[in-house]
């Protein structure tokens, strides 16, 4: 009797050990033929839909980003997770839309972390991810990926469980929160569990431009992890204010533009140069064909004279902070040689909530239940043209809860739980200029039900 029992126990222990091993990062590199693709996800900060050449900009030079579009697929109806920074990144990392995420605006009204900082623009409080908040980096690392991040995290305060190295990343360099990230010549950057001092920038000096350091980190990460699958997340801070750049380049000659427009354009082009450095290193390491590159922005552009002059929001209504298209519709380019169709343009609607399940499927890993988004990998690879109509949802809690939902061509917007619903037909009216709610009562009822059911109240953002 004891031997069968002992064998059963040993067999059970073996299964448990195998399961735990499967959740640990791979210790050895797999062969290029058998290993899953590498993933590079580039996220610009406050970059508008109309700031990129392949999306219609005639004012700003973005040759490297435009090349990604020529060599991959450009999506016209892709959406950020939120019209502002922190919740958009929370949606990207979690696969949950802002009706369900912990972080729903840049700073909560209740229960944030008190901190004194210059200007107090965010009300003096912020919220961090906790140990219970799962991220796509954790899922990919458990599946054997090396994971790195450089740029603006925006989801944690120092010493909390929300810092990147506690939320699935092996290595990181950048800004923990959005306020520190406003400065492109900081005196320090957060690095892993500590900080990296930048004495070159002390006492107002402008010795080291932070985005250049982030690009250096990215190139070094590629060199150190080229022999195993990797996930490199690059939430660059360009072209987020402040308006600072080492040189104007070709824009110095644009004396017909105000200074802020020249600086802004130079910041976007410097971001493009960083994309070029990454592409060149991938080719040098012979990783170009085995790496999927995503390029997008965290939300729409700010409303300012420079962005209006440069038509940063293209023809969309609204700007950063708004749930109209100009606040949430963003550029999205995906390049994967031989797998993502080259030179294609897709109008399939999808959002940041779809990124986590997409990356898991792309990596050949199980996609668990519980995401608000779904994998769009079949659309990326051209297997199908569309996933069919499904709701995409956004909210941003201010004094009132501003909500939006898109279902097929229909877009509903509501500026408060007790406010009337606006309805737009994006197929006929992409600029959201004509509210047609009174003409389509059944559609209004359907979308109102989606707005009501998608919002789960949060103790951090009491709304009405």
Is 431 contained in some domain?
no
Asked whether residue 406 is assigned to any structural domain, the reply reads no
Contact 161, 130 (CB under 8 A): yes
- Torsion sign, CA atoms 417, 423, 426, 431: negative
- Say whether pLDDT at 2 is over 70: no
pLDDT at 112: 64
Question: Rounded to the nearest 5°, which phi and psi values hold at 317?
Answer: -80, 140
Whether residue 302 is contained in a domain is answered as yes
Comparing 2-6, 154-158, 301-305, 406-410, the range with the smallest average pLDDT is 2-6
Taking only the tens place, the pLDDT of each residue in 45-96 is 999 999 999 999 999 999 999 999 999 999 999 999 999 999 999 999 999 9
pLDDT for res 107 = 87
Residue-wise pLDDT for 138-172, tens only, equals 999 999 999 999 999 999 999 999 999 999 999 99
**Is there a domain that residue 71 lies in?**
yes
pLDDT at 23: 33
- 461 in any annotated domain: no
- Specify the CATH number for the domain of residue 345: 3.40.720.10
Confirm whether 345 is domain-assigned. Answer: yes
Q: Find residue 79's DSSP bridge partners.
A: 329, 351
Residue 118: predicted pLDDT: 33
Strands 146-152 and 171-175, bridge-based pairing: parallel
104 is a domain residue = yes
* H-assigned helices in 204-354: 210-224, 259-284, 305-309, 325-328
pLDDT band for 205, please (50, 70, 90 cuts): very high
13 inside domain: no
Its domain, for residue 371, covers 34-389
pTM: 0.91
pLDDT of amino acid 21: 34
Give the model's pLDDT for residue 122.
42
pLDDT digits (tens, 9 = 90+) for 106-142: 988 787 654 433 333 344 578 999 999 999 999 999 9
- Mean residue pLDDT across the chain: 91
The kind and range of the H/E element at 146 are strand 146-152
- Quote the pLDDT of residue 117: 31
User: Per-residue confidence at 1, pLDDT binned at 50, 70, 90?
Assistant: very low
Closest alpha carbon to 98 in 80, 121, 117, 112: 80
Structure tokens at 344: 């294609």
The 10s digit of each residue's pLDDT in 254-293 is 999 999 999 999 999 999 999 999 999 999 999 999 999 9
Is the pLDDT assigned to residue 12 strictly greater than 50? no
Alpha-carbon distance 454 to 464, whole Å?
A: 15
What secondary structure, in 3-state letters, does 323-363 show?
CCHHHHECCEEEECCCCCCCCEEECCCEEHHHHHHHHHHHC
pLDDT at 243 over 90: yes
Q: How many domains does the chain have?
A: 1
Q: What share of the chain is helix, strand, coil (3-state, %, to 5)?
A: 35, 15, 50
Q: What pLDDT, on the 0 to 100 scale, is given for residue 124?
A: 53
């Amino acid at each position: 009797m004891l031997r069968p029992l002992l064998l059963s126990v040993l067999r059970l222990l073996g299964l448990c050990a195998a399961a735990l091993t499967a959740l640990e990062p791979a210790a050895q590199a797999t062969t290029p033929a058998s290993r899953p693709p590498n993933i590079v996800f580039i996220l610009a900060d406050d970059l508008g839909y109309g700031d990129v050449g392949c999306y219609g900009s005639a004012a700003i030079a973005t040759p490297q980003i435009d090349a990604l579009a020529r060599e991959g697929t450009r999506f016209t109806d892709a959406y950020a997770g939120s019209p502002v920074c922190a919740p958009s990144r929370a949606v990207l990392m979690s696969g949950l839309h802002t009706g369900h995420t912990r972080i729903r605006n840049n700073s909560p009204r209740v229960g944030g972390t008190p901190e004194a900082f210059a200007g107090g623009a965010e009300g003096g409080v912020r919220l961090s991810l906790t140990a219970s908040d799962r991220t796509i980096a954790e899922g990919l690392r458990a599946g054997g990926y090396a994971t790195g991040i450089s740029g603006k995290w925006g989801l944690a305060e120092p010493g909390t469980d929300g810092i990147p190295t506690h939320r699935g990343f092996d290595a990181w360099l950048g800004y923990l929160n959005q306020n520190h990230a406003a400065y492109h010549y900081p005196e320090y950057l957060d690095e892993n569990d500590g900080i990296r001092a930048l004495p070159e920038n002390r006492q107002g000096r402008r010795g080291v431009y932070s985005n250049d350091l982030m690009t250096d980190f990215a190139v070094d990460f590629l060199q150190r992890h080229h022999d195993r699958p990797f996930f490199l997340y690059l939430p660059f801070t360009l072209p987020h204010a402040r308006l600072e750049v080492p040189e104007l380049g070709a824009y110095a000659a644009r004396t017909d533009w105000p200074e802020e427009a020249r600086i802004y354009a130079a910041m976007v082009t410097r971001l493009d140069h960083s994309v070029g450095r990454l592409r060149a290193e991938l080719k040098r390491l012979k990783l170009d064909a085995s790496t999927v590159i995503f390029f997008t922005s965290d939300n729409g552009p700010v409303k300012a004279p420079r962005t209006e002059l440069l038509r940063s929001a293209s023809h969309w209504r609204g700007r950063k902070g708004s749930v109209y298209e100009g606040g949430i519709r963003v550029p999205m380019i995906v390049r994967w040689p031989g797998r993502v169709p080259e030179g294609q343009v897709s109008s399939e609607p999808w959002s940041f909530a779809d990124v986590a399940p997409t990356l898991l499927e792309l990596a050949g890993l199980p996609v668990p239940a519980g995401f608000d988004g779904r994998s769009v990998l079949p659309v990326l690879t051209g297997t199908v043209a569309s996933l069919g109509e499904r709701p995409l949802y956004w909210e941003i809690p201010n004094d009132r809860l501003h909500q939006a939902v898109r279902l097929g061509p229909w877009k509903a917007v509501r500026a408060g739980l007790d406010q009337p619903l606006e309805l737009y037909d994006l197929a006929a009216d992409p600029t959201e200029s004509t509210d047609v709610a009174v003409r389509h009562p059944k559609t209004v009822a359907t979308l109102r039900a989606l707005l009501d059911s998608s919002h789960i109240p949060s103790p951090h953002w009491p709304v009405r």
